[in-house]
Every structure is written in C-alpha cells, then in structure tokens.
C-alpha cells in the first residue's frame, strides 16, 4: 500500500514537471542601431514593363516616356506593348496621339491638357496616353497602316486595354469655335474623354 502511494506520488510529480514551462532563454545582448543612410535601389528606366504586378520604378519611367514627346527614334510596337500592360493593370484605355514636334496643334493640345487640372487628372485616371511620331524623319507607316486613314494632326485613336481600336478621332472636331482663341473646346474635348473612358464598377 505504501509502495502504491509512493508510485502515484512519483507519477503526479512527473506529470507536473512535464507540463511546467521550460525556463526562458537568455536574451541576446542588444545590437547597436544601424544609422547609416539606406538608399533605395535604382531601377533602369530603359527596361520595359516586365509584369502585371505592382509597377517598379522602371515601369513608371517607361509609361511616362510614352507621352514625353514625339520621338522619331521610338518604336511604337514596343511602346504599345508597354501601354497594354499598364492599361490592363490599371483598368484603363489607351490613346494613341499621332503627331510630331513640327505640329503646332499637337503642342496646343499638350498645353491644353497640362493646363487643365481636371482634364489632366481624368486622363491619367482613365487612359494610358501614348505619342506616335509622324514626321519626315519617321512616318511610322507600317505601324499606322493598321489604323484608319488620318486626315490631320494631331489625331487620336482610342484602344481598349488589349489594343483593339474603339474610336478614330479627328481632333479638328474638338477645336475651339471660330472667333475663340486658337485651341480646343473644353466641353467637347472633355465629352470625348468621358465617352470613351472605361466603365467603372459601381
């Protein structure tokens, strides 16, 4: 009987030891704080958009380059591939702005958009804007052959995110009325932008 009680006591003691928490590990000594300047990695803006994920700095630079200027040296096929990736990622449409540095109305259009914060914000929220050069140096004839004939410059083609043509827009219809300062009619131009913007989910 005494032996049985001793065995039971030993079993209870063993179970209590098994359930008790192990001693806390000794904390490592504190390391000094690293106060050296941490510079972010610099992306190569020459690299094309690589994926449909969050845009890297190179992607942002590549998209910004699409609308920088009418450049005879740019490849519109590669630019359109970049524009499609960005349009699909952002749920946007693409506008091909065909013209040249020689074209005074092209510069008027740039100034008109840049000078109107509401139109500029609407453009940036709904479109990837891509300039396509047409000049004596490079008419980009092979690229533009897939689109309807152009009557004057600048000319705007609205594409969906996959590159399908939705609208061929003669910008003469968007110009200011006679008697008004040379430029574009805000109401007509904004209506055009709204008409072809992608539908937003409710």
The token pair at 180 is 């008004």
* pLDDT bracket for residue 27 (50, 70, 90): low
Picking from 198, 149, 152, 144, the residue whose alpha carbon sits closest to that of residue 175 is: 152
**54: confidence class by pLDDT, cuts 50, 70, 90:** low
Is 154:105 a contact under the CB 8 Å cutoff? yes
Instruction: Read off the pLDDT of residues 95-106 as tens digits, 9 standing for 90 and up.
Output: 999 999 999 999
Which comes out higher in pLDDT, residue 113 or 56?
Answer: 113
Q: 161, 160, 146, 157: which is closest to 84 by C-alpha? A: 161
pLDDT, tens digit (0-9, with 9 covering 90-100), for 60-109: 888 889 999 999 999 999 999 999 999 999 999 999 999 999 999 999 99
Residue 189: which of 120, 94, 104, 90 has the closest Cα?
120
Q: What is the pLDDT of residue 29?
A: 60
Q: How far is residue 115 CA from its own chain's centroid?
A: 21
Contact of 132 with 98, CB cutoff 8 Å: yes
Q: Name residue, tokens 């699409």.
A: 66
Burial of 187 (0-12, 13-18, 19+ CB in 10 A): exposed
pLDDT digits (tens, 9 = 90+) for 138-170: 999 999 999 999 999 999 999 999 999 999 999
Q: Which residue has the higher pLDDT, 36 or 185?
A: 185
Compute the mean pLDDT over every residue in the chain, rounded to the nearest whole number: 83
Tell me the DSSP string of 120-148: HHHHHHHEEEEEEE-SSS---HHHHTTSP
As a whole number, mean pLDDT of residues 24-48 equals: 53
> How far is 172 from 164, CA to CA, in rounded Å?
23
């Amino acid at each position: 009987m005494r032996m049985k009680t001793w065995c039971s006591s030993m079993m209870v003691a063993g179970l209590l030891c098994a359930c008790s928490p192990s001693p806390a590990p000794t904390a490592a000594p504190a390391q000094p704080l690293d106060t050296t300047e941490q510079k972010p990695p610099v992306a190569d803006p020459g690299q094309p958009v690589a994926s449909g994920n969050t845009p890297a700095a190179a992607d942002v630079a590549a998209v910004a380059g699409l609308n920088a200027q009418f450049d005879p040296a740019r490849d519109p096929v590669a630019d359109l591939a970049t524009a499609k990736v960005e349009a699909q990622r952002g749920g946007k449409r693409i506008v091909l702005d065909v013209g040249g540095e020689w074209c005074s109305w092209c510069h008027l259009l740039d100034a008109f958009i840049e000078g109107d914060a509401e139109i500029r914000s609407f453009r940036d929220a709904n479109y990837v804007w891509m300039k396509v050069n047409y000049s004596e140096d490079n008419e980009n004839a092979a690229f533009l052959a897939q689109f309807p004939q152009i009557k004057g410059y600048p000319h705007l083609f609205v594409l969906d995110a996959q590159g399908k043509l939705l609208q061929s827009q003669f910008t003469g219809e968007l110009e200011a009325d006679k008697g008004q300062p040379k430029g574009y009619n805000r109401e007509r131009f904004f209506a055009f932008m709204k008409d072809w913007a992608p539908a937003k989910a409710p």
